[in-house]
Chains A and B, each alone.
Chain A
Amino acid sequence: MSVEKPSGSLAPVDWQQRKWSRADAKHLLWRTQFGASAEQIARTHTDGSAKSLERLFSLQPESTAFVAADELLRRAAMDTDSPASLKAWWLHRLFHSANPLPEKMALFWHNHFATSIAKVRSASAMAAQNDLCRREALGSFRRLLHGMTQDGAMLVWLDGNANRRRHANENFAREIMELFALGEGHYSEKDIKEAARAFTGWHVREGQFWFNRDQHDFGIKTVFGKMGDFDGSAVVDLCLAQKACPRFLATKLLRAFVLPQPAEAIVAAVAARVRAHDFAMGEVLRELLASELFHSDEARGALIKSPIELALGALRALEGQPNLRAVHAVTTLLGQDIFQPPTVKGWEGGRLWITSASLLQRANFAATLTGSNQLGAINAPEISARKTDTTPAQIVAHYTDLLLARPPAPETRQRLESYAAASTGETAERIRGLLHLIMAMPEFQLM
């Protein structure tokens, strides 16, 4: 089935008319992976938009070293059933995978279907859910939502086993409508009660979905005004058919990848694309990333980095080798503990990432990263390469370009240059001092 091309602000940028710049390349990379090194930015700049998008959306072969380490870390997490090992495994993937966009989307879906190991208490169940998020990261939301309703971790998380024929538990049905598919205000209490009946008997046994026939209510239900002998799958389809569903997804996608507060018209336009692509989210995202909207001035530096984007992004930009356990500790301190979101709503994100306390902790993170090897050694070559940039202005230009979404204000640049000129000691140490200053700036919190 052919899909009509997007138009208006969602129309693709005409790169024949507009020059693809280093800034465009950096913008694309920071939004689609966790930070970007100078070499990655240069390569993406050289490749241009189309080729870069093709690379991001097609499956890249993973290196042998990555595969070996990934297997090792996953097996360790399964063997020890340790949440810390599980989190280290995923952090390794987030940072080292040759396919960063699927990983970033998997994190997006983890936040959407927020499930915590604190209650599930099974590394293997959480890893299986994570696999599902990754498998459908750029795939079909339809398959993903169906998969989630039969996911072992999700059924434990939302008390699936308590949902029995004579005592339907509304928890599962409520979260599907409110948090996964429609958002508040797009369903009635009666819809929830009836949908809960459809999910009765959807239980989990030994970590796997189990249809407990004896506990399923086979009676007629009425959901969204439609009547039938609905089971859970039918209710999921009814949710997907609601107008609110693509709109709900469009809002989340825009907030995660483009703008913190998208206008109504833009949400409506993206929702139309979600429907047009029948929930093929990779297609929708690809159109978004190529759009005038994404490359507009308004979208540059408009998003606040999540703790994971901040920590892994800084490490990647400075070509560091992360200490996964230490990085996990710091992102947890900053408010994002993967596999352990605070509530069923996940991390609210956006401006809520920044509080007076977290801003101080973000500055402390910068100090730790640039002043020690505690979070992972930041790459000496990246820093020593700068020894050839002889003037303070050149050094400041290099690092502000590498680390900031937008060029700094002239007075800020001047202050940084004054610092670079006045600081004494070893070049590497002076650069570390400068990096600390740049990364402690409010501008570094944005991407």
Chain B
Amino acid sequence: MNAQLFRPLHHLSLCALSLTLFIGLPARAAEPAKADSLTRVLPSGALGFVEVENLAGQIQRLRQSLLVKLVLESPEYGEAIKAPQYKEGMAFIKVAENILDMDVWKAADTLLSGQLALALYPKANSPQPEPLVILRTPDAAGLEKLRLRLAPLVALAGEKIQRKEEAGGMETFQLDDKLFVALHKNWIVASPNRDLAMRAVGLLNGQKGGVLAFEAPFAKMRDQMGAKHFVQVGVNLEALRAAINARMNVPEQFDNGAASLLFQSLAELAVRSPYFGLTVDIDDKGFALTAGLAGGPKALAPEHQWYFSDPKTGGTPPLPAVPGLIGGFSTYGDFSQWYRNREKLLVERVQPEFDKFESGIKTLLPGRDFADDVLSALGRTITFVAAQQNYDHLGGGQPAMKLPGFALVFELAKPQEGGDLFQLLFQTIATLTNLGAAESGNQPWVMMAENYKDTSIWLMRHLKKPEGKQLPVVYNFMPCAARMGNRFVLTSSPSLCRQLVDAFQKPAPVAAANKNLNIELFPIELAALAQNNLDLLTAQAVQGGKDADQAKHGIEALLKVLRTIESAKLFSTVKEDRFQFRLEGHWK
């Protein structure tokens, strides 16, 4: 991708300067504030845009939130405000407040309580795009006051600025040949390109046609992602492809297997999508960030379709509801399809790595073929879970460093065959681990079985029951395996294995539609885990050069912050005509 397209910093800084300076000039006429998106007054032809709605309101909301209060109370913040840079910043704000005759929050409220948009347009004979900035505020009186206070500063610029009164009460200013600014009672337009700015002025004054919002890619984005958001970012990928090349430098074949698994199919979707969109919404209890592309899996070549769930039949399930769930992920994918298509998806150079991998895996699964036996036995979803664990299985002993219990749940396409295969894998790993334990003088494991609610659980217990509350970290692990219907479960702790049996025996909750990937984190449980390991975390901070008290206070402040966050979720959804990622955070 041509990076220069996204380096219009010089012009951007000029636009920002103009927004600060030109509000200092007297206004000529009033115009009621418009609530429509600024994309309806941005001229067509932009490569992309960013629009922010009522930034001042969100800043206000953030200032009043518990999270910010905790950050302000933290020792780290206390240290930060002692820094000379902070003091210099505060001094600058004081000077600015004196000039403006209002506090900085009021000034922000005046300028940012409406809409602010930036769009980038291709520039003839230049790799750098041209910016256009529009600011519209409902607080015309406030803007007027700011203009009057800043007028003397503008006057200091002297002849450098050519001022002109235009029809309809508008004024324009030309700063050398570098910046053109038009301003009205409640809006400001700025761009280095006068024609571009005047097109925006025309649209602001009610001219019809030629607006960004009705260009096909952005119209599609609005249809698929909605029109009203705190922040929205749109990129016209069709225009970008025309400017760069048809595949936007995305290679046909990847040279890294992991990157292919994670991104290749999405990149293919992006290559065909007319837009890339991003929206942010915030309320009192959380935020949501959504990123979207247009196009569905059917538009892609068959070797790229393995990644996407069927939009009609749903995707990956929600995480199992086990007590003390810290987090985890579930993912959907036809991995055997990906593996079989690896020669199409990946460059020749990396193909020998797969042969090496298959030779290695034969040690763990003797006599089985990875593609034919292992992958074909796998279903489409894999789930990973981390949850608090208890140490009942140690009979009173406890490791000093307390780790969560971990679980991997594989959906099985062929339950019986797949179950046997994974049990074989489990037994082989146990044997190899025992050989390692014997070499290093650690305790070996003994395999045993138990029946829990009609499910057979294979577990490995330590040969000798350990005693004490400061046991080595290895006692966090007592591997277990079980087949539950069409699922094979591997866990690091018996309690988690039993909890998963309980969870899977309950009726399945309704899955969120078409989730292709689902990652969930519950910081409150993470804070509880950190609390259980407080001394170790403090020791780590002391090793890093802090004193013990300072370290403890810092960690406790962080835990307070974690406890205010209820959950963080990232998931993707697949529909016939769109693919979206959504990141959600919820706090108290």
Contacts and interface: CB of A to CB of B under 8 A. Distances in A.
Interface stretch (B286-294, B504-512, B540-548): B540-548
A53 interface: no
A79 B440 CA distance: 18
B547 A80 contact: no
Closest 10 pairs (CB-CB, A-B)? A79-B400, A76-B539, A323-B545, A88-B543, A69-B548, A324-B543, A72-B539, A376-B545, A325-B543, A79-B401
Q: Is the interface of A mostly helix, strand, loop or mixed?
A: helix
A121 B472 CA distance: 13
Nearest to A327: B545
Contact of B535 (A65, A76, A323): A76
Nearest to A373: B545
Contacts of A325: 543-544
A80 B548 CA distance: 18
Contacts of A121: 440
Contacts of A142: none
Contacts of A322: 545
Interface string B515-546: 00000000000000000000110111011110
11 contacts: A65-B548, A72-B542, A75-B400, A79-B401, A81-B472, A121-B440, A321-B545, A321-B547, A324-B543, A324-B545, A325-B544
B20 interface: no
Contacts of B399: 79
Interface in A70-91: 72-73, 75-76, 78-81, 84-85, 88
A405 B545 CA distance: 28
A76 B544 contact: no
Given A65-B548, A68-B548, A81 B473 contact: yes
Contacts of B535: 72, 75-76
B470 interface: yes
B538 A72 contact: yes
User: Could you say which of A73, A84, A322 has the most chain B C-beta atoms within 10 Å of its C-beta?
Assistant: A73
A274 to B, nearest CB: 38
B470 A73 contact: no
Q: How large is the interface on B (under 10, 10 to 19, 20 to 34, 35 or more residues)?
A: 10 to 19
Interface string B114-149: 000000000000000000000000000000000000
Given A65-B547, A69-B547, 16 more contacts: A72-B539, A72-B542, A76-B536, A79-B400, A79-B470, A79-B536, A80-B400, A80-B473, A81-B473, A321-B545, A321-B547, A322-B545, A324-B544, A325-B543, A326-B545, A376-B545
B400 A92 contact: no
Q: Is the interface of B mostly helix, strand, loop or mixed?
A: helix
Contacts of A75: 400, 470, 535, 539
A323 B541 CA distance: 9
B542 A80 contact: no
User: Could you say which of A72, A85, A322 has the most chain B C-beta atoms within 10 Å of its C-beta?
Assistant: A72
A85 B542 CA distance: 10
Interface residues of A, number: 24
Interface in A320-338: 321-326
A75 B440 CA distance: 22
Given A80-B536, A81-B473, A73 B542 contact: yes
Nearest to B471: A79
A322 B400 CA distance: 27
Nearest to A205: B441
Contacts of A65: 547-549
Contacts of B470: 75, 78-79
Interface in A41-81: 65, 68-69, 72-73, 75-76, 78-81
Interface string A370-382: 0000001100000
A80 B401 contact: yes
Contacts of B547: 65, 69, 321
Nearest to B539: A76
Interface string B532-572: 00011011101111011100000000000000000000000
B543 A73 contact: yes
Given A81-B472, A81-B473, A121-B440, A76 B545 contact: no
A92 B542 contact: yes
A203 B440 CA distance: 16
Contacts of A72: 535, 538-539, 542, 548
A203 to B, nearest CB: 12
A118 B549 CA distance: 33
A85 B539 contact: yes
A377 B83 CA distance: 14
Contacts of B440: 121
Nearest to B400: A79
A65 B538 CA distance: 14
Nearest to B542: A69
Interface string B359-379: 000000000000000000000
Contacts of A80: 400-401, 473, 536
B397 to A, nearest CB: 13
Interface in B307-322: none
Nearest to B545: A323
Contacts of A69: 542, 547-548
Contacts of B544: 323-325
Nearest to B548: A69
B470 to A, nearest CB: 6
A46 to B, nearest CB: 28
Nearest to B537: A76
B379 to A, nearest CB: 38
Interface in B468-527: 470, 472-473
Contacts of A78: 400, 470
A322 B540 CA distance: 13
B265 to A, nearest CB: 40
A68 B470 CA distance: 18
Nearest to A87: B543
A182 to B, nearest CB: 32
A337 to B, nearest CB: 16
A121 to B, nearest CB: 7
A76 B543 CA distance: 10
A376 B543 CA distance: 11
A178 to B, nearest CB: 27
B562 to A, nearest CB: 21
A324 B535 CA distance: 17
A10 B544 CA distance: 43
B395 to A, nearest CB: 19
